[in-house]
Amino acid sequence: MSQIIDLATAVSALRCDFPLLGQPGPDGRPHVYLDSGATSQKPACVIEKEAEVYRLYNANVHRGVHALGDRVTGEFEQARQAVRELLNAPEAEEVVFTAGTTASLNIIALGWGGAVLQPGDEILLNEAEHHANLVP
């Protein structure tokens, strides 16, 4: 038996997860945010977790040799494991967190490109490529 999903209800429920999207825009209508290539909106659970870390155990991951460092490293590794499971990656060590898409593209371009590309090789791009693809 198929289940009918009310799209308006689903969108409304999803908006509730994102504090900014739950607020009315300047014209009184709900925000529609389409600039996620530059900055994505954060769901409340992410904002709350970040605030928890800053309030209770802010320390360097994999660096501190004290209780706060142990705690934040444990939380970090739990997050890596959750992402591994979501992506069905074979190993948690295959999950790498970066500052964003641009940083990720730079790491790949420099790592893979440095190992594979040779002088005289050409890389073809179309005019619609994002600037982050051109810089590396």
pTM for the full predicted model: 0.71
Q: Identify whether 47 is part of a domain.
A: no
Q: Identify whether 124 is part of a domain.
A: yes
Distance CA 100, CA 97 (A): 8
Answer yes or no: do 62 and 36 share one domain. Answer: no
Answer yes or no: do 13 and 27 share one domain. Answer: yes
Q: Identify whether 63 is part of a domain.
A: yes
CB neighbours of residue 72 within 10 Å: 20
Answer yes or no: do 106 and 120 share one domain. Answer: yes
- DSSP alpha helices (H): ranges in the chain? 7-17, 44-56, 67-87, 101-116, 131-134
Answer yes or no: do 92 and 113 share one domain. Answer: no
Answer yes or no: do 117 and 93 share one domain. Answer: no
Reported confidence tier of residue 8, pLDDT bands at 50, 70, 90: confident
Could you tell me the residue range of the domain that residue 111 belongs to? 101-134
Q: Which residues contact 31 (CB under 8 A, 6 or more apart)?
A: 20, 21, 23, 24, 25
Answer yes or no: do 91 and 107 share one domain. Answer: no
Q: What is the DSSP letter of 94?
A: G
pLDDT digits (tens, 9 = 90+) for 49-58: 999 999 999 9
pLDDT digits (tens, 9 = 90+) for 109-126: 888 888 999 999 988 888
Answer yes or no: do 62 and 78 share one domain. Answer: yes
Q: Identify whether 118 is part of a domain.
A: yes
The total number of structural domains in the chain stands at 3
